[in-house]
Amino acid sequence: MIPFNKPYLTGKEAHYMYQAVFSGKISGNGIFTKKCQYYFEQRYGYKKCLLTTSCTDALEMAAILCDVKPGDEVIVPSYTFVSSALAFVRQGAKIVFADSMGTNPNIDADKLEALITPKTKVIVPVHYAGVACDMDKIMEIADRHNILVVEDAAQAIDSYYKGRPLGSIGHLAAFSFHETKNIISGEGGLLAINDERFIRRSEIIWEKGTNRSEFFRGEVNKYGWVDTGSSFLPSEVIAAFLYAQLESMEMIQNRRKAIWAKYYDGLKDLADMGLFSTPEIPTYATNNAHMFYLVCRSLEERSALITYLKEYGILSVFHYLALHKSDYYTRHCADRPELPMCDHYADCLVRLPMYYELSDEEIGQIVEAIHDFYSKI
């Protein structure tokens, strides 16, 4: 069986984890945490970075920093993982769901203006598959209406918009290091802060509502409870694992891009025939090869393709169910927005296996199986 995902190990993870354990400082915010945070700040220019136990935690921190309160509205694409909305729901926000673009699953920036009301507090663009949303349009609209922007960059490490790293454009950004991502730590995340007014408070929220970090830097003579917060920081063991991955960023990214290109080249003839569509990379975006997907012509065709590939020993998966049609949303909200493109991706998008150790031979098998499937329908 060719699995959908296989976590890649560089070989240094256990060594660094050993160092972390025997350093005597394993509870978090130690040497490996600082190394990881410094890496992101230096490589991508984020003003402040804080490791978290998950991307969900990073989004929850962002919701607190945005001072989201009951009655506030937050615009989120419906075609995304539940955390993109849930982080703000926990603060009492009303989620206003936005539709996807016709050319890719990202939020349709041209339809944002119609969703804004005097209660709109935050827009959450999700960079699906690591491909940038149209951030110039989104930031222009947000600035004009005095709205904060939180980039959900869970899939978007090492990807760019017009030469700018994703996660550096909005006021805040959240990344994921879940085992299905390009760079992993099993579970883990990162909050990037780009607006200086949020820097001091972010560290307090990260440290359970205390000014503990300031105390350890010698900036205050004692620390205590000064704000809301939670235990968002990960242990040094997680940070040590992550640092081993970061050291191999270029190698990992180069291999994933090569895999993506082989899929694209091998399936281009079928896409040109209109049998399905393959990912489109806008001219303003780069491709970090987080995933390779096909958009089939119908739900029935996608289901049949997934079944057919499984019979070949290939595990492919569909992705998100539309949040605006979820059990939770329909129980708690009277609104029933019409989001046709979101529904289309929810019904028709299928993800192919994508991981560092996927061999050229295995890619060939997958491409051949897809050709065989479409030759029979």
Beta 189-193 vs 48-52: how paired, if at all?
antiparallel
At residue 47, the 3 state secondary structure works out as coil
- Contact yes or no for 337/97 (Cβ under 8 A): yes
* Residue 175 β-bridge partners: 190
Residue from 64, 76, 136 nearest 100 by CA: 76
Euclidean distance between CA atoms 360 and 263, whole angstroms? 10
CA terminus-to-terminus distance, the chain: 24
φ, ψ of residue 318 in degrees (nearest 5): -85, 170
Place of tokens 């190698």: 251
For the record, the structure tokens of 73 come out as 């509205």
Residue 199 sits at the vertex; the CA angle it makes with 193 and 203, to the nearest 5 degrees, is 105
Angle between helices 249-272 and 360-375 (to 10 degrees): 20
Residue 46: what residue type? Y
Q: Residue 80's CB: how many other CB atoms inside 10 A?
A: 27
- The dihedrals phi and psi of 52, each to the nearest 5 degrees, come to -130, 170
Burial 179-203 (b: 16+ CB within 10 A, else e): ebbbbbbebbbbbbbbeeebeebbb
Q: How far apart are CA 377 and CA 304, in angstroms?
A: 10
Instruction: For residue 14, give both structure tokens.
Output: 């256990």
Backbone angles phi, psi at 178, to 5 degrees: -60, 155
Q: How far apart are CA 185 and CA 9, in angstroms?
A: 10
Question: What are the residue numbers of the active site?
Answer: 181
Across 314-357, where does the E strand assignment appear? 317-318, 349-351
